[in-house]
Amino acid sequence: MDIRPLADHVVIELVSEETTASGIVLPDTAKENSQRGRVVAVGSGRLLENGNRAPLEVRVDDVVLFDDRLATKLREANRDLLLVSEASILAVLTPAKAFV
């Protein structure tokens, strides 16, 4: 089954754990209401009053930080996915090598 989100919705696959700069692994339970995930599908954009679509700011394969309280959980091909509105996405994270 393929999932095609509508309008300004985004499908995200969770990134299971995070490692700090000192090498400490932080499990998901140690985090609060925001999560990290990889975008696997995006909708066509929010419909504007003039009939045009506003393009989404995120793209497939972006790693994002989002509010998981506003997510709908999905299960597809043995993967846990989340469906969120683009408004629930707080930031796009750049690769760690960009900070070196």
The string of pLDDT tens digits covering residues 55-74 is 999 999 999 999 989 899 99
3: alpha, beta or left? (left if phi > 0; alpha if psi -120 to 50): beta
Distance CA 74, CA 43 (A): 16
Q: In this structure, how many other beta carbons lie within 10 angstroms of the beta carbon of residue 82?
A: 20
Determine which helix (DSSP H) or strand (DSSP E) holds 73, and give its type and residue range: strand 72-76
Domain 9-94: top CATH class:
mainly beta
User: What number of CA atoms fall less than 13 Å from residue 47's CA on the CB side?
Assistant: 3
Task: Enter the DSSP assignment of 31.
Answer: S
pLDDT at 20: 57
Query: How much is the pTM?
Result: 0.77
Average pLDDT, the chain: 84
Q: In this structure, how many other beta carbons lie within 10 angstroms of the beta carbon of residue 9?
A: 21
Sequence ranges of the domains in the chain: 9-94
Q: Which residue has the tokens 């419909």?
A: 47
The amino acid at residue 62 is D
